[in-house]
Amino acid sequence: MSDDATRPTSDRHLPVLLQRCVDLLAPALAEPGSVLVDCTLGMGGHTEAVLEQVPTARVLGIDRDPQALELASRRLARFGDRFTPVHAVYDEIEDVVDEHAGGAVQGVLMDLGVSSLQLDEPERGFSYAQDAPLDMRMDPSRGMTAADVLNTYDEADLVRVLRRYGEEKFAPRIARAVVRRREREPWARTAELADAVRAAIPAAARRTGGNPSKRTFQALRIEVNGELEVLERAVPAAIEVLAVDGRIVVESYHSLEDRIVKRAIARGTTSSAPPDLPVEPETHRPYLEALTRGAEEADAVERERNPRSASVRLRAARRLRPTPAHMLGQTRKESR
């Protein structure tokens, strides 16, 4: 275990746009007994701030990572039954809310991507900066590892993963190198992969854009954890568990995530009536109100203090009314 594991969780993680998230959620949590679902609990920084600043709220904290749940539960023990940890993947939000909140909640928060806990524990294999087993599972107890992907996917599938999830323009060269290497010996370590990616990318392309392995590691992590498929299901489901006047806040860290969130919110904030109708029917009026103009970013002060905030895109919305039946069917179909 790394030295970080012995440090207090509050010292190990700086939540991104912390106060902005609390300020956006607080109006929906003003009534006693109001419930926030923190879909990506991590080490509990956002949840702790809500519980401290909004004494009327309680929080259901979802995480697929048992280590995160254990650390956050210790950090939040002082809040007693105002905090409930739940071991689940956050696309299961409807089941979690049915079990713990009776079917509707006043707030939902998603802070997407890999957590500080996972990045800072070398043995988890998320970081290209430190040698470790090629794991990358957010829940280490189940599912395939990054090594499994590298050792079993055919070359075409590796190209697909690297292009789709890493937006890697040198995907064919990297995939070819992966396949050639595993014919000699199986993939096992992050340092081996980082070296192979660096060698596969033209020298001129390595001079800019940071570590050349970043996109490959991102793509593998997303594939291993099914992150985008989970998000496609989770955002519409999260909107559906919101009570009227409830609020959803989502922090994304790359364009693929943000595109999914943007589409789900735009669907709810846009009239579904044909444009040539003289009067907009009630059933076609928007069921969400955007609380941000586009996607908000961290300011220069926060980016300097917390480098992980540099790529954040925050979007938020308030539920105006229940989702019309014809839109609900469309939403569920698109999220499958």
CB 90 within 8 A of CB 39: yes
The Cα–Cα gap between 161 and 155 comes to 10
Q: Please tell me the total number of residues recorded for the chain in this structure.
A: 336
Task: Tell me if 90 is assigned to a ligand binding site.
Answer: yes
Q: Strands 105-111 and 83-87, how do they pair?
A: unpaired
The Cα–Cα gap between 9 and 117 comes to 9
Task: Tell me if 153 is assigned to a ligand binding site.
Answer: no
Task: Tell me if 111 is assigned to a ligand binding site.
Answer: yes
Q: Which pair of structure tokens corresponds to residue 271?
A: 């009239």
Task: Tell me if 45 is assigned to a ligand binding site.
Answer: yes
Task: Tell me if 44 is assigned to a ligand binding site.
Answer: yes
Please enumerate, by residue number, every residue annotated as part of a binding site: 44-46, 63, 90, 111, 118
Please enumerate, by residue number, every residue annotated as part of a binding site for S-adenosyl-L-methionine: 44-46, 63, 90, 111, 118
